[in-house]
Amino acid sequence: MVIQAVLASFGSLSTTLVGASALPGVSSYVADAGFPTSAFSSYYYSPAQPTQEPQPVIYDPVLNYTFPHNLTDPETIPEENVDDPVLFPPPVANLSASQKRSLVDAVVANVTRIIVETNATESSCARCMNALAAAKPAALYAPELVPETLVSLCKQYALHSNATCEEDFAASTFGAAWTQVLAYADVQGLDGQYMCWSISKSFCAEPTTQPLDTTKLFPKPKPANATVPPPSGKRVKVLHMSDLHLDARYAVGAEANCSSGLCCRTNNFNRASPGEPLLPANAYGGFQCDTPYDLGLAALQAVGPLTGTGKGDDEESLAWTVYTGDLVSHDPQSELSQAYTMYAETSVYGMFKHFLTGPVFAALGNHDTSPENLDSPHNMPGPLGQQQSWNYDHVAGLWLHEGWISPDAARQARTHYGGYSVKTHYGLRIIAFNTDLWYKGNIFNFINSTDADNSGVFSWMISELQSAEDAGERVWIIGHVLSGWDGTNPLPNPTNLFYQIVARYAPHVIANILWGHTHEDHILLYYSHNGTVRDDAHALATAWIGPSVTPLTNLNSGFRLYEVDTGDFQIYNAYTFFSNVSEYDDHVFLPNATASTGPTFQIEYSTRDTYGHAASWSHADPLNATFWHRVTEAMERDANLVSLQNTLQGKRSVLSPNCTDSFCQEAKICYMRSGSVALGSQCRQGYGSVQSAFKP
């Protein structure tokens, strides 16, 4: 049986490609040992051998500023962010310091009474929302005192650990943002339910999708004769990279198997061995670590040979690259800052420019801001609606500086939360948007949550799609946090709205959708009629989730190449490449050690060769939503195909669990057919990720 043979070839982690026909470039690339010093013009620390992560000097062309060495020095990781502004809602009245303190003391007494008193007829959710209502006056009249009060209450009632209470509610981390939410949210309505659910899952159940009125949503009805344009027959190569998560504070020789937090750091240890590391970090990364410079540059060096592209006069160029977000490492918020975020943006985009051909179209991830996850809607009062504009201005300036987007698109990015609409020189329109506006980790989404488009990002997207339809353009939509799968990442109402947008403009306008965030390799599907009938006749669009460069957590490193037709802009093949992280510890670089090679990146699989036979798919047809739905039907007939998908989801990591029982297999198929929270939440839960203890 073909699928059994495929699985057998994957079991040994061999380098043999499944169906190795028509490779885009070489089948494997081995990076040279040592750091490619030509990647940067100068260094604070530049070793001859990879015994310590280099520290390049990063100049920011937008800020006209050179980032100092102590920002990324692994020996000087900050314990608290003291440099960034902390914004509170303006008080509704001017009270004296003693009046503010008296007010807060009274608030604490009221909240304590509500928490302590037992009412048999009152649910824990109602009690929590009543406590929020009692706390709201503090945010309105004495906002600067709220974070310390939240930390105190969190510790007193053991809502989290003491350290987590500080991390979640201190003013310099998320406390000021929580104060804003408390001031402006409807704490006894849907907003309050979300707030209580976020603070503790034992307080309120997660709210479900609300009905959406679509009668006035779109300026025009969907054309009855809407069809996908024919292919041109000309194919171009498009790169999809995601979730690089550069760790500029990575420390070679530090603990790579720490007990908690981000490993390969000087300030994280394994509790069983607080002295000498149990697993010393090598130069290229590990399963519990983010991407050191050596791994990120090895991946970028591998792109040209593996994809058959390069910068030489006689070499083919990438038509374009899509980057679906997350540049910054997974530090706790107390160690992050605006400067550290902008450093990662400047460094990574600079590396893209150095190594990749063609333009790069990037979307912002939830880690590409500070505090992480947070992007406030522009309709918040005064400066609060513009509190992340420093970041939108910065990335727009970098993208413009690198020549990837036009001045008009840069203006859009400054206005639309880092989102923009740009037409490539091949004629495809790419719409990038900031998915923090539907991410559960963004607590600003708990303000006016009854409005599925409180930020306005989707009305802007509709206007761009309508203009594209009127002009006969094809569109790719790119973002970071995926809209569906198991339903655990975004909020339900905005993804329901997005699903209606896809149903309106696919497949004749929207050709493809690209996400990141999970660090894994998978797809999800969108259907007509709100997914009430999910079969090949109703399949409209595919979302491709890009594999991450970072190995965090328990994954291999990877990226993907698409073969795209310039007529219909559909994908006709996809090649996924990976590097086996379990081999990196053969290169443990400690003082006086030497190494002959760096990491190997190799082709993992061709999508068409791996799944095409199972879907009975013609070689001339694109890998569209109909194709992928037929793959899921083949999975229902042959459980081995689900196991194969699970193996590929983790990029063949030796730490990925098997998916061999019927519950897992049923869930995986359901996830693939779920493009919204409403649909994904109907699936059996617990099988969405192949990682253990992963917190994106």
Q: Of 392, 398, 361, nearest to 375 (Cα)?
A: 392
Going from the C-alpha of 425 to that of each of 38, 121, 382, 428, 461, the distances in angstroms are 30, 64, 39, 8, 21
pLDDT at residue 48, rounded to an integer: 56
- C-alpha 680/C-alpha 667 separation (Å) is 9
What letter does residue 271 receive in the DSSP assignment?
A: T
Q: Distance between CA 367 and CA 626 in Å, rounded?
A: 33
Strand partners, 65: 60
Range of the domain at 117: 97-199
Burial of 12 (0-12, 13-18, 19+ CB in 10 A): exposed
Q: Are 679 and 503 in contact (CB under 8 A)?
A: no
Say if 80 falls within a structural domain: no
Statement to judge: residues 167 and 250 lie in one domain: no
Q: Which of 138, 164, 199 is the last residue of a domain?
A: 199
Which among 456, 494, 544 has a CA at the least distance from the CA of 677? 494
Positions of the chain with pLDDT under 70:
1-21, 47-51, 120, 586-596, 693-696
Tokens of 71: 């920002």
Strands 65-66 and 59-60: antiparallel
Rounded Cα–Cα distance for residues 571 and 661 (Å): 32
Q: Is residue 231 part of a domain?
A: no
User: 39 lies in a domain?
Assistant: no
Closest-CA residue to 345 (of 392, 398, 271, 382): 398
Backbone angles phi, psi at 65, to 5 degrees: -150, 140
The Cα–Cα gap between 65 and 147 comes to 33
The verdict on 101 and 154 lying in the same domain is yes
**Domain end: 174, 199, 224, which one?**
199
Helix 190-199 / helix 176-184 crossing angle, nearest 10 deg: 150
CA geometry: angle 374, 375, 376, nearest 5 deg: 115
| pLDDT at residue 21 in the model | 53
- Reading the block at residue 652, the tokens are 């063949």
pTM, to two decimals: 0.95
The answer on 269 and 194 residing in a single domain is: no
User: If you search the block for the tokens 């409807």, which residue do you land on?
Assistant: 186
Query: Reduced to 3 DSSP states, what percent helix, strand and coil does the chain have, rounded to the nearest 5?
Result: 35, 15, 50
Strands 510-515 and 557-565: unpaired
CB atoms within 10 A of CB 108: 17
Looking at residue 120, its pLDDT comes to 66
219 in any annotated domain: no
Q: What is the dihedral of CA 561, 565, 569, 570, to 10 degrees?
A: -70
Q: In the 8-state DSSP scheme, what is residue 515?
A: E
Query: Based on the structure, what is the number of domains in the chain?
Result: 2
Closest by CA to 366, choosing from 695, 675, 63, is 695
Residue 86 maps to a domain: no
Check whether residue 523 and residue 604 sit in a common domain.
yes
pLDDT of residue 632: 98
Residues 259, 186 share a domain: no
Helices 97-116 & 146-156 angle (0-180, nearest 10): 30
Q: Which residue do the tokens 């195909």 mark?
A: 641
The SS3 assignment for 578 reads: strand
d(CA 278, CA 274): 9
| Cβ contacts of 368 within 8 Å, gap of 6 or more | 325, 326, 327, 328, 341, 344, 345, 391, 395, 418
Place of tokens 């957590």: 553
Give start and end residues of each alpha helix (H) in 117-189. 124-141, 146-156, 162-169, 176-184
Residues 417 and 558 in one domain: yes
The two counts, helices (H) then strands (E), for the chain are: 18, 17
Residue 35 resides in a domain? no
Question: What torsion do the CA atoms of 93, 95, 101, 107 make, to the nearest 10 degrees?
Answer: -30
| Local structure of 65: helix, strand or coil | strand
158 shares its domain with 275: no
For the chain, the residue count is 696
Is residue 573 within 8 Å of residue 562, measured between CB atoms? yes
- Cα dihedral: 310, 320, 347, 603 (round 10): -60
178 & 266 share domain: no
Residue range 69-118, pLDDT digits in tens: 999 999 999 999 999 999 999 999 999 999 999 999 999 999 999 988 87
Q: Hey, what amino acid is at 360? A: V
pLDDT digits (tens, 9 = 90+) for 38-54: 899 999 987 655 567 88
Rounded CA Rg of the chain: 25
Q: d(Cα 133, Cα 440) in Å, to the nearest integer?
A: 22
Orientation angle between helical segments 662-672 and 639-649, nearest 10 degrees: 70
CB neighbour list of residue 140: distance below 8 Å, 6 or more residues apart: 89, 91, 92, 183
Do 187 and 277 belong to one domain?
no
Map residue 560 onto helix, strand or coil: strand
SS3 (DSSP) at 457? helix
With the C-alpha atoms ordered 311, 316, 319, 323, is the resulting torsion angle positive or negative? negative
Question: For strand 522-527 and strand 571-579, is the pairing parallel, antiparallel, or unpaired?
Answer: unpaired
CB contact at 8 A, 325 and 480: yes
Residue 375 amino acid letter: D
CB 257 within 8 A of CB 263: yes
Residues 320 and 414 in one domain: yes
Statement to judge: residues 195 and 248 lie in one domain: no
641 and 535 fall within a common domain: yes
The CA distance from 528 to 131, in Å, is 42
**Residue 352: C-alpha distances to residues 38, 146, 286 (Å):** 14, 42, 22
HSE-CB for 254 with a 13 A CA cutoff: 24
Tokens of 405: 């987007």
Q: Are 622 and 542 in contact (CB under 8 A)?
A: no
- Phi/psi region, residue 419 (left: phi>0; alpha: psi -120 to 50; beta: rest), is beta
Distance CA 14, CA 27 (A): 12
Tokens of 691: 């990682």
At residue 329's C-alpha, the angle toward residues 323 and 332, to 5°, is 140
State how far the alpha carbon of 51 is from the alpha carbons of 45, 279, 382, 598, in Å.
Answer: 11, 15, 50, 13
Q: Which amino acid is at 592?
A: N
- Distance separating the N- and C-terminal Cα atoms of the chain: 37
Count of C-beta atoms within a 10 Å radius of residue 41: 11
Within-domain flag for 131: yes
375 is a domain residue = yes
Could you say which of 199, 231, 266 is where a domain stops?
Answer: 199
